[in-house]
Amino acid sequence: MLNGKFPNGVAGYSYHNHSNFSDGKNTPEEMLLAARAAGIREYGFSDHWVVAPDYFERPVAWSIKRERIYEYLDTVKALKAKYTDDKFSVKVGLEVDYFEENIEDVAKELRSFELDYAIGASHFVGKFPVDGCEDYWKPLSQAQIDEVIEGYWQKMEKVAAYPAFDIIAHLDLCKIFCYASTRDTSAHVDRILELACKTGKAVEINTAGWDKKCGICYPAPAIIAKALAMGVHFVISADAHKTEHIKRYFDQAVALLGK
């Protein structure tokens, strides 16, 4: 693991990226070459690793298939060996979904994978897919929306506390379709930022949010401002799923950090 040794808020480093091993559109090598051409100095692969608990009826379709995990790792490690030089380096990572029911088993697997880093994320509250499709949100009552968002923030606190993760992904992803809670969630945010400071985890400014219905990065600028005042360490992430996304909105992210 990189253990917090990420350049703080620098646009030439990118760790949250996907390939066609999960839900990306391009091969790892295509993504890597696009990153190098775009001037990225250090590029990390972090395809989705979602080990769903038993109450899921089937594996999550947009995760790396379990039978392909070592193919993914071997592919990225080979690219790392081929392309890393004094001007460009490659890192091997995963974006890992947190489920309390099996996190210890997942963490044991992560250690065996010999990753450079792991990104902690939550895309589900129970089986509810927070960012899957707005159609999942539309039938919910406001009380149900409040429960989903509360459950999301509770899970993100656990992501922030869990030692296997180096980066906290898209902190306020639950806003993606513009559904908001009537409850005050600021205490969750404060605890997550405090945990990030205490554990040395980086919080990502995920620029993909500017292309979603919410129209703003994750986390929101107000959270970024609070985190900066607390001394939180940031990384800028495109959450790239195709080569055109490699550095999307990086300039806006840098501006939010006052760089």
Domain definitions of the chain by residue range: 13-256
Residuewise pLDDT in 10s, the chain (259 residues): 444 456 665 668 999 999 999 999 999 999 999 999 999 999 999 999 999 999 999 999 999 999 999 999 999 999 999 999 999 999 999 999 999 999 999 999 999 999 999 999 999 999 999 999 999 999 999 999 999 999 999 999 999 999 999 999 999 999 999 999 999 999 999 999 999 999 999 999 999 999 999 999 999 999 999 999 999 999 999 999 999 999 999 999 999 998 6
d(CA 51, CA 96): 8
Q: Taking the C-alpha atoms of 187, 228, 212 and 173 in order, what is their torsion angle to the nearest 10 degrees?
A: -30
Please state the pTM of the whole predicted model: 0.95
Q: Is 13-256 CATH 3.20.20.140?
A: yes
pLDDT attached to residue 6: 60
